[in-house]
C-alpha cells in the first residue's frame, strides 16, 4: 500500500469495518454522520475508506460520499459519511424522514 510521500507499507495493514447510523432529517434531503476510528489507525495514516448506504424501506436511492473530518484528506481520526437522496430535490418526498445505516470498510496501518 503506497501512502502520500512515497511511504510503502507491505505489512502491518489493518482493516476496520462497521456500521454507522444516521437519524432522520425532515427538513432536508441530506444527512451527515461522523465515524471516529479512535486509536485503531496510527497517526499519520490516511486510510482508504469505502461506504455504502444499506437498503432503505422508503424506496428512494441514497448516495453516500465520504469526506474528511477536517482538512482535505481522510486521516487516522475518522471520516464523515454524507448521505443524500437521489430523487427530485424540489419534491417534499425527498426528505430523509427515516434514518438509516451506512456500512463502511477502512484499510490503513
Query: Residues 6 or more apart from 78 whose CB is under 8 A from it?
Result: 34, 35, 36, 37, 69
pLDDT at 26: 80
pLDDT at 55: 67
Which residues pair with residue 22 across a beta bridge? 100
Q: From first to last of the 109 residues of the chain, give the pLDDT tens digit.
A: 555 555 666 678 899 999 999 988 888 888 899 999 999 999 989 999 999 987 665 666 788 999 999 888 999 999 999 988 876 555 556 677 778 899 999 999 9
Domains of the chain: 12-108 (2.60.40.2080)
pLDDT at 47: 95
Total-model pTM: 0.80
Instruction: Quote the CA–CA distance of 73 and 63 in Å, as a whole number.
Output: 20
CA nearest to 78, candidates 100, 31, 46: 46
Amino acid at each position: 500500500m503506497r501512502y502520500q510521500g512515497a511511504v510503502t507499507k507491505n505489512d502491518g495493514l489493518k482493516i476496520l469495518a462497521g456500521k454507522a447510523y444516521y437519524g432522520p432529517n425532515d427538513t432536508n434531503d441530506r444527512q451527515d454522520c461522523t465515524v471516529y476510528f479512535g486509536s485503531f489507525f496510527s497517526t499519520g495514516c490516511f486510510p482508504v475508506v469505502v461506504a455504502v448506504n444499506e437498503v432503505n424501506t422508503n424506496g428512494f436511492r441514497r448516495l453516500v460520499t465520504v469526506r474528511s473530518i477536517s482538512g482535505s484528506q481522510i486521516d487516522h481520526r475518522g471520516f464523515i459519511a454524507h448521505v443524500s437522496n437521489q430523487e427530485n430535490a424540489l419534491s417534499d418526498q425527498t426528505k430523509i424522514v427515516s434514518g438509516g445505516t451506512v456500512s463502511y470498510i477502512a484499510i490503513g496501518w
